[in-house]
A and B are shown apart, each in its own frame.
Chain A
Amino acid sequence: MLLATASPLMFFEIATPRRDSSGPAASMSNSEPSTPTGDDQGREQARLVAAMARGEKSALSALYDSLSRPLYSLAYRVVNDSAEAQDIIQEVFLQLWQKAGTYDSSRGSVFGWAATLTRNRSIDRVRMRKRRAELLAESAPDLQPASPSGDLDSSASLWVQEKATAVRSALGQLAPEQQKAIELAFFSGLTQLEIAAKLNEPLGTIKARIRRGLLKLKETLPTRL
């Protein structure tokens, strides 16, 4: 599926640094030279944001179609509540709409921007909603790749699903303790100390695991999914 549907995967071309041609992404790209690349997808996202800055609502609609699913999934993963996740997504897209003029593609991809906004708002919600003690007790991320749900037949869902598969695969290549540290760091909203306490490890060990895990993830994730 990954090789057959190339266009949605190219979104991440701008999100991750380009590696050398030895990776799977290179072979994918070489096998389908006529397929739109990740660079094209990234430029398309940036173009939509630029159009939004000019007040074009159709651009917002198109961007929503592309990003709502992974962003909603992220919000839901953090807050574990559908209504709250919807509120977060609404806030994020309205912020993207209003702040579109400030987007600078040289500072990162549209997806990176939107995902960061979604994660931060989700974590803020969780922190407001729960006391720290509850957070420590309840935020045990599911490290197993979850089964996809929803409408997998739509093209938007398809490309997101394929990218998600690639990310999960990359996470799966990490040592289990690195995986856990990365997941907690991203989804839980815990501090370094809280992560160390939760995993019952020294703080230095946790820092090292996050560093090694993220660097490996950066190397493993194909630049062209």
Chain B
Amino acid sequence: MREELRRKAGEAWAFRTRVEREAARRFARLAAAIAAFDADSPVPALLRQAAEDERRHAVLCADLSAVYGQPVDAGAEDAAIVPRSLGPRAAVLYEVVASCCITETESVATLTTLLAEQVEPRVERVLREIARDEVGHGRIGWAHLARESSISDVSFLSPWIPAMLAGTVDEGLFAAAGADLESRELLRHGVLPHSLKRSIFVDTLEGVVFPGLEKFGISSLPARQWLSNPAARTRLG
């Protein structure tokens, strides 16, 4: 394996380690928040389990990161993403939609795509274990959105979806990448080549996330404009 490829794979798994740790903290916090206003909801228990899953995923990702020569430190962030203008319950909904309906849904599509490829056995075992859980994590978001939309108008989220999307990916995803990032060899190590990553991101939005939001009364028009307009993406990125 070429050193540059090994480094790219290691960086990807190190990044995923941080993503999983952050998700663990976020899910634990959201579980407590939702339980405080929706005692009958199955979502808090599912989020607590998801937080445990994410901690386990982080260990798996960190192990692979080390295998590829990119050990990660023990740090984890709980990045603040909610607009200050939202009240507590709307803020929770914002965060659940951003983290589960968008990010976890995208993760499931990424994992499904990777698992359809020839992958190193060690990497495949990790991908399969994580994929099993991520489906559930994506569902949690849609479950909470369904519950909230059943008793209230959630369309206020529509103009916020572009900000959520801008925070989900680097703007560099929409630019051309060098040959190293486009190497199909990356797939064997559980990493999507750049242009495939972009197409999976866009297709998942158009085929799953946008129709899902529309199903619950959230217009996807601002998000579609964000997706098709580089200037808008730059402004929010």
The answer to whether A and B belong to the same complex is: no
Binding site for A on B (CB under 8 A): none
